[in-house]
Chain A
């Protein structure tokens, strides 16, 4: 029996082979115990502040919004030590690993951001680290691969299936079912079997805590709209977390629309409820129940499902989920570079592109928008330049 409710409405659960259930229950037990433990929280916060670089700034973009009445803020998770929000929850899970007396870590990564964060924290805390990564992603995110290697992680190239994040996730679960006794699997997003979506929500909610304080300080009011990109959904759930109860704040999750209706990663728009990657959630699948290959220019969004809490927030209509295609994301990437001197991750560029759409649609309206800039874009420079050349 789980201690916490493993479902969000009808979404969630623990759909894994029986052998992994004890490992999940152990993780839940330690999470519940230590999340209320003052020493644990103090240690985690110390690492978040002095190692990862929290709090991150909330930057007002003055140039993009010239001629409009919009105030556009970026929550600068890109300025974290690892270059993305991923490190927030990796620190939490790595500390839990220590408490569970496990010595090894496995993780999977798409864009490489989660892999880099995991490798960094493992080096810091003396944990052995193995990262599963699809061969296609190894090719398109080579800078991050090199970083992970330098940090002492072993990269396991995944040559099966789609050779992207989807296949890497399958391989990581396979590996974990052999080694759960001394190995913790750090899932990098708010997807997967219970308790991962709850754990990731909790550890990423720091983004929301800070944003709320900062926006009140700057604007003396809450924002009107909060926007974040959604692959598995960790940065989005992180920035939405504290705003979920404030019903008058519009929350928007932006999925990867990819090339077209057939080549995308938008499981909320094009998927339906299914059971995949240990959870019941929105899944991109064909009419026969086989999981479809996803597609996005952004490796971090290239996943055929989404965290179960997002599926619930979509169902309950608390969050609006939209799509941005590759071209729109690349355009937003370039705009931010040129107008504000910030190179955003392609993932975050999707969120930014939707903010720009809103601003353009009604420039006169007085509004405050916060976009979660979940990561920086150095890793994406070659992807963008080859997209532009095409």
Chain B
């Protein structure tokens, strides 16, 4: 397996920090702006990044990410252009872990074997396919191992013990702990109780735990990271800035930069 995530977690531990992973949709609002946003995110303190390949029917996502999918598709982004962005990023930022988030049909329609081969070629670290639960993951997982790309699984609050055990067994880099039922999106004043599940995992495994879904404030990040969670993924609150300042690309960058710095600061224990 690749060392990037492991190195990040080790280094953060030394600095008494936890991991901050922003999510961005590739090609939103267009190829160049998207690339520019991601570069700024990296420069402003992201420990790793998660990037999405836009899909026409992202039923695991709320309206903010859903609109990002549509904006990217409308700007003529496709799978190969997404890999192109990742290739550019990898060349410039060799050490940062890059994770991919997508939906099953985009992997399937490109040929599962071929898709994972492309992931290897651009030196991707991980892949999460929203609508491929553990129960359907056999073939996808096989090619993830073959191509040295870690398969990331969503671990929601209602997970059964036997599935959790499988996820632990199949996870090399990190497990994605889902804050709450539902889809991605911002909901203020959400109290996330992932203690039971994170304690359960930590009792039997050292695999890092990253929490996502609905995280949108410094307060939430600080509270989450007081537990056994090793890091957070924030998507909707960041992507929302693109939607909000769509006609002012400079402002998008400024707003996102400030959010990234603020959120990263909150991961320092």
Contact = CB atoms under 8 A, between A and B. Distances in A.
Contacts of A2: 135
Contacts of A63: none
B108 A275 contact: yes
Given A177-B60, A288-B78, A18 B159 contact: yes
A290 B181 contact: no
Contact of B60 (A1, A13, A17, A290): A17
A174 B136 contact: no
B110 interface: yes
A18 B156 contact: yes
Interface in A274-312: 274-278, 280, 283, 285, 288-291
A276 B106 CA distance: 10
A188 B239 CA distance: 34
A96 B133 CA distance: 25
Contacts, number: 105
Interface in B42-79: 55-57, 59-60, 62-63, 66, 73, 78-79
Nearest to B79: A288
A1 B181 CA distance: 21
Interface string B26-45: 00000000000000000000
A295 B28 CA distance: 28
Nearest to A273: B108
A2 B163 CA distance: 13
Contacts of A275: 103-105, 108, 131
Contact of B109 (A173, A178, A181, A285): A285
B109 to A, nearest CB: 3
Contacts of A276: 57, 105
Interface in A1-37: 1-2, 13-22
A18 B134 contact: yes
A170 B57 contact: yes
A59 interface: no
| Majority-rule SS of A interface residues | mixed
Nearest to A180: B181
Interface in B173-190: 178, 181-183
A260 B136 CA distance: 36
B156 A19 contact: yes
Given A275-B104, A289-B110, A170 B59 contact: yes
A170 B103 CA distance: 13
A178 B105 contact: no
B81 to A, nearest CB: 10
A274 B109 contact: yes
Given A160-B66, A285-B105, A290-B56, A18 B133 contact: yes
A379 to B, nearest CB: 26
B135 A14 contact: yes
Contacts of B153: 18
Interface of B: 55-57, 59-60, 62-63, 66, 73, 78-79, 103-106, 108-110, 130-136, 153-160, 163, 178, 181-183
Given A174-B59, A278-B131, 13 more contacts: A13-B136, A14-B133, A14-B136, A15-B133, A17-B156, A18-B156, A19-B154, A19-B157, A21-B135, A177-B181, A178-B182, A180-B181, A289-B109
